[in-house]
């Protein structure tokens, strides 16, 4: 028997399917695969994960954070032979900006909050301190890779991620993220919803709705109760931040004359809102802002966006998500919003 | 024409803020009235639903001053850190303008005081045209504010230490109020430089019980909540009346020194909490964990963590503190998440049961070590052989105002060096 025929056991790294997995997930997966790791992703959110998370986390955290605790727990339960849990630390990707404080200490919050026994593999993205590639090199060091290899891995992963990002939009986002997970048990089942609009008039009175919010709220279909699919059965065309052209994200946002905003995670929301308030006003009929309960940055940004929408007379609905919200309450609110917008839009056209 | 300005009060800190603007030519300061139930209600009504509590309180104060006192210009600090404080000023201005008030909120930058962006606000407010004389006023105002700030920190610290020892209940509260009024109305820098003696003589008049070993508790958390007695239900006073020695960890002076990068104590705490929170995440999170570890090492009896509901950094700190107890964190801790619905009675019940818990912890917990030492301030005030006199030699009247400022700086620098050496020594052993 020749021992060299047996391939060496790959390092097994688990990624929790929560928070910024919904934005940078592909990048992490590509990077870890470049490092020859065996990447596993936690199961899609289920009732058990929510319950576990709510138990582990302190009660005042926002829902996405609680879900993160739940997903880490699910990873540990499903893969007991895990070598590392991958928990990134996102501090900033621009010199003058920060992510939400909860992201800044995410590895420590999980490590000390859960008394985690598995070591944490972390990727620090901190433009205040160093370039992204240096974070990847640090990560490569823990996995036992040389400087050149880690640098190359980062470049390849980033290139692949950027290619993928340009292809992603609101309709295929969930599917592309799901395709990263090779585990057959983790297939997200498509739910069928009753068609509310009668067949005769289906497609005759279309609306386009802009959904604002963090990707981990908009594309997390368990916690937002399949908002996108539900709106589609109501004959609505969906626009999200991912559908906005990348040119819109270049100019910085100013809150007022002297003041620039400093939250990275809110930047794209504000920029998208700015585009649809000015040039893109004709493209949308209404706006839904998804925020999670006790979200710090959103509580203020929502106020700003809401007040601007009010002055421009764009219909605006805030949906607050938490682990206790019921389905029917939300359905009623969406349906009434859509009905109201539709009545207003097509009444004025038919009467004129 | 002079501009009438005001600002949010933040407890006794309003004295320091007033000192910062009072002597600026072209500015008349309206000292903000103390926070009341109505002000909080007013603020909560027009604020976003789950914004943190200081936002609601400060907004309520603005509305109160606009409606009842006809003030239309406010100064509000802004930050560019990761926490919500930086957004206060622009959004409050927007909300007030949407309500139809004619209001101007002038931001004062506090993210790093050494970049001197904050002087811009003062220069902008002053109506002196000569550019050099403008700076003269700024320097004088800053000195006044810094000196008063340091005395506020001293008085609030002594208040916590002495109240648990007083024989006649209410003495300390009265003395503190008198001292603060005196400090607020004192504008002579030369008298102010001797004000520590005034403080000591005032406190020396309180009759106290000597040689007792009260429970010791650290009270810390988010700055605004800890410093505003109406908001935290005057937790310092309540503890004192129950006979608990309170070590108030937050003060405006300490915060300003930290922003000037010369606060040695905070640097020490940052080092202690580094494994748990490796970088400043806004709020007081990093120092809360540091205070906790230090308190545990020094054999304190309890720890109180006050923070506004949904505060992001403080919640992170809480998660870490809660997750790591009882091992290695065994110091009894109580969290108060405060918002506009917090009531006094609910807090009192929890607080009294916490005192019982600390008492039983002293006897029952094998990890607890009794390292009680009487605070040095008590000895300095009450065991003085020589009576305190207010001497004012001619020579010092000229020199002390300058040397005192220098002395503060030098002592801080030495402190920093000493702590550096200490930590080095620890590492070697």
Kindly report, residue by residue over A256-285, the tens digit of the pLDDT. 777 777 888 788 888 888 888 888 888 888
Residue B428: its pLDDT value, please?
46
| Dist CA A186 CA A265 (whole Å) | 28
Residue B255 lies in a domain: no
Closest CA to A264 of A214, A195, A302, A326: A214
Closest CA to A134 of A151, A112, A114, A110: A151
- Choosing from B126, B143, B160, the residue where a domain stops is B143
DSSP state of B126: -
Among candidates B86, B95, B318 on the partner chain, residue whose Cβ is nearest the Cβ of A262: B86
Average pLDDT over residues B374-389: 74
Among candidates B51, B311, B312 on the partner chain, residue whose Cβ is nearest the Cβ of A100: B312
> What CATH architecture does domain A7-179 belong to?
3-Layer(aba) Sandwich (3.40)
CB atoms within 10 A of CB B422: 11
Residue B263 lies in a domain: no
Is the pLDDT higher at B177 or at B397? B177
- Cβ atoms of A295 and A269 within 8 Å: the answer is no
Terminal CA-CA length for chain A: 86
| Dist CA A271 CA B179 (whole Å) | 51
Residue B367 lies in a domain: no
Closest CA to A217 of A323, A335, A123, A146: A323
- Cβ atoms of A125 and A90 within 8 Å: the answer is yes
Residue B412 lies in a domain: yes
Residue ranges making up the domain that contains B25: 3-143
Give B310-328 pLDDT, tens digit per residue. Answer: 888 898 899 899 888 888 8
Global pTM? 0.88
Q: Which pair of tokens denotes residue B231? A: 């908001």
Flag whether pLDDT at A32 surpasses 60.
Answer: yes
Q: Testing the interface with B: which of A90, A101, A107, A316 to mutate, by most B Cβ within 10 A?
A: A101
A-chain residues within 8 Å CB-CB of B49? Answer: 299
% of chain B surpassing 70 pLDDT: 93
Average pLDDT over residues B202-226: 90
- Choosing from B92, B126, B143, the residue where a domain stops is B143
Q: How confident is the model at residue B411 (pLDDT cuts 50, 70, 90)?
A: confident
Tally of domains in chain B: 2
Residue B104 lies in a domain: yes
| Dist CA A316 CA A304 (whole Å) | 12
CB atoms within 10 A of CB A17: 26
**Nearest CA of chain B to the CA of A108: how many Å?**
6
Instruction: Find the radius of gyration of the CA atoms of chain B.
Output: 22
Q: Under an 8 A CB cutoff, do B80 and A303 touch?
A: no
Q: Testing the interface with B: which of A63, A89, A105 to mutate, by most B Cβ within 10 A?
A: A105
Residue B106 lies in a domain: yes
State which residue of chain A sits closest to B317, comparing Cα positions: A109
Is the pLDDT higher at B396 or at A285? A285
Q: Under an 8 A CB cutoff, do B282 and A99 touch?
A: no
Residue B35: its pLDDT value, please?
92
| Dist CA B274 CA B290 (whole Å) | 8
Q: Residue B307 phi/psi, 5° resolution?
A: -155, 155
- Cβ atoms of A207 and A342 within 8 Å: the answer is yes
The residue ranges of DSSP E strands in B371-416, in sequence order, are none
Q: Under an 8 A CB cutoff, do B50 and A294 touch?
A: yes
Domain ranges of chain A: 7-179, 194-351
| Dist CA B79 CA A117 (whole Å) | 37
Residue B400: its pLDDT value, please?
65
State which residue of chain A sits closest to B51, comparing Cα positions: A299
Q: Is A222 helix (H, G, I), strand (E, B) or coil?
A: coil
| Dist CA A12 CA A33 (whole Å) | 10
Q: Residue B330 phi/psi, 5° resolution?
A: -110, -5
Residue A7: its pLDDT value, please?
65
- Choosing from B143, B159, B178, the residue where a domain stops is B143
Q: Which pair of tokens denotes residue A252? A: 């910085």
Q: Fold for A194-351, please state it.
A: Rossmann fold (3.40.50)
Residue B414: its pLDDT value, please?
77
CB atoms within 10 A of CB A272: 24
| Dist CA A351 CA B357 (whole Å) | 73
Q: Say what the ipTM of the complex is.
A: 0.88
Q: Which pair of tokens denotes residue A204? A: 């005759």
Closest CA to B240 of B165, B299, B333, B332: B165
Q: What is the 3-state secondary structure (H, E, C) of chain A?
A: CCHHHCCCCCEEEEECCCCCHHHHHHHHHHHHHHCCEEEEECCCCCHHHHHHHHHHCCCCCCHHHHHHHHHHHHHHHHCCCCCEEECCEEEECCCCCECCHHHHCHHHHHHHHHCCCCCEECCEEECCCCCHHHHHHHHHHHHCCCHHHHHHHHHHHHHHHHHHHHHCCCCCHHHHHHHCCCCHHHCCCCCCCCCCCCHHHCCCCCEEEEEECCHHHHCCCCCCCCHHHHHHHCCEEEECHHHCCHHHHCCCCEEECCEECCEHHHHHHHHHHHHHHCHHHHHCCEEEEEEECCCHHHHHHHHHHHHHHHHHCCCEEEEEECCCCCHHHHHHHHHHHHHHHHHHHHHHHHHC
| Dist CA A166 CA A182 (whole Å) | 23
| Dist CA B218 CA B226 (whole Å) | 11
Average pLDDT over residues A92-118: 86
Q: Is B5 helix (H, G, I), strand (E, B) or coil?
A: strand
Q: How high is the mean pLDDT of chain B?
A: 87
Is B80 exposed, middle or buried, given 0-12, 13-18 or 19+ CB atoms closer than 10 A? Answer: middle
- Cβ atoms of B296 and B333 within 8 Å: the answer is no
Q: What is the DSSP string of A251-318?
A: SPPEEETTEE--BHHHHHHHHHHHHHHTGGGGG-SEEEEEEETT-HHHHHHHHHHHHHHHHHT--EEE
Q: Under an 8 A CB cutoff, do A299 and B48 touch?
A: yes
Pick from A32-41, A187-196, B148-157: least confident: A187-196
Q: How high is the mean pLDDT of chain A?
A: 86
Average pLDDT over residues B373-401: 67
C-alpha B188, offset from chain centre: 24
Cα-based angle B294, B297, B299 (whole degrees, multiple of 5)? 110
State which residue of chain A sits closest to B99, comparing Cα positions: A307
Q: Chain B interface residues facing chain A, Cβ-Cβ under 8 Å?
A: 48-52, 78, 80-84, 86-87, 89-91, 93-95, 98, 107, 276-279, 281-283, 285, 309-313, 315-316, 318-320, 322-324, 337
Flag whether pLDDT at B419 surpasses 70.
Answer: no
Cα-based angle A141, A145, A149 (whole degrees, multiple of 5)? 120
State which residue of chain B sits closest to A304, comparing Cα positions: B91
Q: For residue B383, what are the contacts with CB-CB under 8 A and spacing of at least 6?
A: none
| Dist CA A107 CA A89 (whole Å) | 7
Residue B112 lies in a domain: yes
| Dist CA B64 CA B33 (whole Å) | 9
β-partners of residue B248 are B219
Is the pLDDT higher at B304 or at B383? B304
Q: Under an 8 A CB cutoff, do B316 and A294 touch?
A: no
Q: How confident is the model at residue B429 (pLDDT cuts 50, 70, 90)?
A: very low
| Dist CA B144 CA B401 (whole Å) | 11
Question: Does the N-terminal peptide bond of residue A156 adopt cis geometry, omega within 30 degrees of 0?
Answer: no
Flag whether pLDDT at B261 surpasses 70.
Answer: yes
Q: For residue B115, what are the contacts with CB-CB under 8 A and spacing of at least 6?
A: B109
Q: Is A220 helix (H, G, I), strand (E, B) or coil?
A: coil
Is B242 exposed, middle or buried, given 0-12, 13-18 or 19+ CB atoms closer than 10 A? Answer: middle
The residue ranges of DSSP E strands in A96-146, in sequence order, are 120-121, 124-126
Is B386 exposed, middle or buried, given 0-12, 13-18 or 19+ CB atoms closer than 10 A? Answer: exposed
Sheet arrangement for strand B73-78: B27-29, B3-6, B73-78, B104-109
β-partners of residue B208 are B166
């Amino acid at each position: 028997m020749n021992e060299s025929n047996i391939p060496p056991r790959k390092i097994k790294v688990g990624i929790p399917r929560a928070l910024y997995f919904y934005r940078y997930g592909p990048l992490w997966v590509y990077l870890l695969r470049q490092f020859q790791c065996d990447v596993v992703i936690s199961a899609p959110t289920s009732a058990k994960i929510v319950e576990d998370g709510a138990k582990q986390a302190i009660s005042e955290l926002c829902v996405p954070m609680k879900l993160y605790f739940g997903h880490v727990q699910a990873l540990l339960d499903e893969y007991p032979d895990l070598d590392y849990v991958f928990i990134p630390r996102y501090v900033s990707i621009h010199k003058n900006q920060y992510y939400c404080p909860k992201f800044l200490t995410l590895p420590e919050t999980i490590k000390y909050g859960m008394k985690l026994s598995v070591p944490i593999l972390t990727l620090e993205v901190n433009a205040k301190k160093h370039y992204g590639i240096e974070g990847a090199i640090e990560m490569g060091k823990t996995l036992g890779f040389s400087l050149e290899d880690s640098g190359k891995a980062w470049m390849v992963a980033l290139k692949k991620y950027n290619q993928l990002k340009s292809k992603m939009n609101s309709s295929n986002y969930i599917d592309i993220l799901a395709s990263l997970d090779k585990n057959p048990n983790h297939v997200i089942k498509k739910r069928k919803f009753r068609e509310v609009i009668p067949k005769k008039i289906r497609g005759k009175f279309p609306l386009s709705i802009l959904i604002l919010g963090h990707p981990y709220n908009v594309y997390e279909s368990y916690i937002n109760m399949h908002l996108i699919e539900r709106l589609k059965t109501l004959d609505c065309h969906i626009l999200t931040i991912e559908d906005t052209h990348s040119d819109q994200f270049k100019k910085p946002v100013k809150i007022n004359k002297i003041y620039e905003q400093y939250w990275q995670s809110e930047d794209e929301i504000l920029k998208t809102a700015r585009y649809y308030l000015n040039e893109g006003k004709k493209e949308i009929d209404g706006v839904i802002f998804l925020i999670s309960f006790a979200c710090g940055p959103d509580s203020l940004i929502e106020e700003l966006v809401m007040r601007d929408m009010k002055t421009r007379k764009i219909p605006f609905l805030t949906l607050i998500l938490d682990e206790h919200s019921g389905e029917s309450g939300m359905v009623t609110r969406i349906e009434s919003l859509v009905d109201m917008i539709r009545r207003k839009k097509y009444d004025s056209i038919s009467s004129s | 024409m002079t501009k009438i300005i005001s600002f949010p009060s933040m407890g006794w800190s309003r004295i320091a803020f007033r000192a910062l603007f009072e002597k600026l030519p072209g500015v008349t300061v309206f000292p903000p009235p103390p926070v009341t139930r109505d002000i909080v209600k007013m603020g909560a009504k027009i604020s976003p639903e789950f914004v943190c509590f200081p936002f609601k309180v400060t907004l309520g104060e603005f509305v109160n001053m606009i409606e009842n006192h006809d003030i239309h210009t406010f100064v509000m600090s802004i930050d560019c850190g990761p926490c919500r404080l930086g957004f206060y000023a622009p959004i409050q201005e927007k909300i007030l303008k949407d309500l139809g008030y004619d209001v101007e909120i002038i931001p004062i930058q506090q993210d790093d005081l050494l970049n001197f962006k904050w002087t811009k606000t003062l220069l902008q407010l002053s109506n002196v045209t000569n550019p050099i004389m403008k700076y003269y006023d700024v320097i004088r105002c800053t000195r006044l504010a810094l000196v008063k700030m340091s005395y506020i920190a001293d008085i609030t610290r002594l208040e916590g230490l002495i109240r648990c020892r007083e024989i006649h209940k209410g003495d300390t509260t009265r003395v503190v109020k008198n001292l603060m009024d005196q400090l607020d109305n004192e504008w002579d820098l030369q008298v102010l430089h001797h004000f520590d003696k005034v403080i000591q003589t005032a406190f020396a008049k309180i009759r106290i019980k000597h040689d007792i070993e009260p429970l010791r508790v650290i009270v810390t958390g988010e700055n605004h909540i800890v410093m505003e007695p109406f908001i935290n239900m005057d937790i310092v006073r309540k503890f004192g009346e129950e006979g608990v020695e309170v070590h108030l960890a937050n003060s405006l002076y300490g915060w300003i020194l930290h922003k000037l990068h010369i606060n040695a104590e905070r640097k020490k705490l940052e080092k202690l909490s580094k494994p748990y929170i490796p970088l400043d995440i806004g709020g007081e999170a990093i120092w809360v964990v540091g205070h906790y570890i230090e308190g545990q090492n020094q054999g304190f009896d309890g720890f109180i963590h006050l923070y506004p509901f949904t505060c992001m950094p403080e919640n992170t700190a809480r998660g870490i503190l809660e997750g790591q107890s009882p091992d290695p964190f065994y110091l009894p801790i109580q969290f108060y998440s405060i918002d506009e619905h917090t009531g006094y009675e609910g807090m009192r019940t929890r607080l009294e049961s916490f005192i019982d818990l600390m008492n039983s912890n002293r006897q029952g917990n094998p990890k607890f070590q009794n390292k009680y030492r009487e605070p040095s301030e008590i000895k300095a005030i009450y065991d003085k052989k020589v009576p305190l006199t207010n001497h004012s030699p001619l020579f010092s009247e000229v020199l002390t105002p300058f040397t005192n400022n220098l002395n503060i700086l030098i002592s801080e620098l030495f402190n920093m060096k000493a702590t550096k050496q200490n930590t080095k020594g620890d590492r070697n052993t």
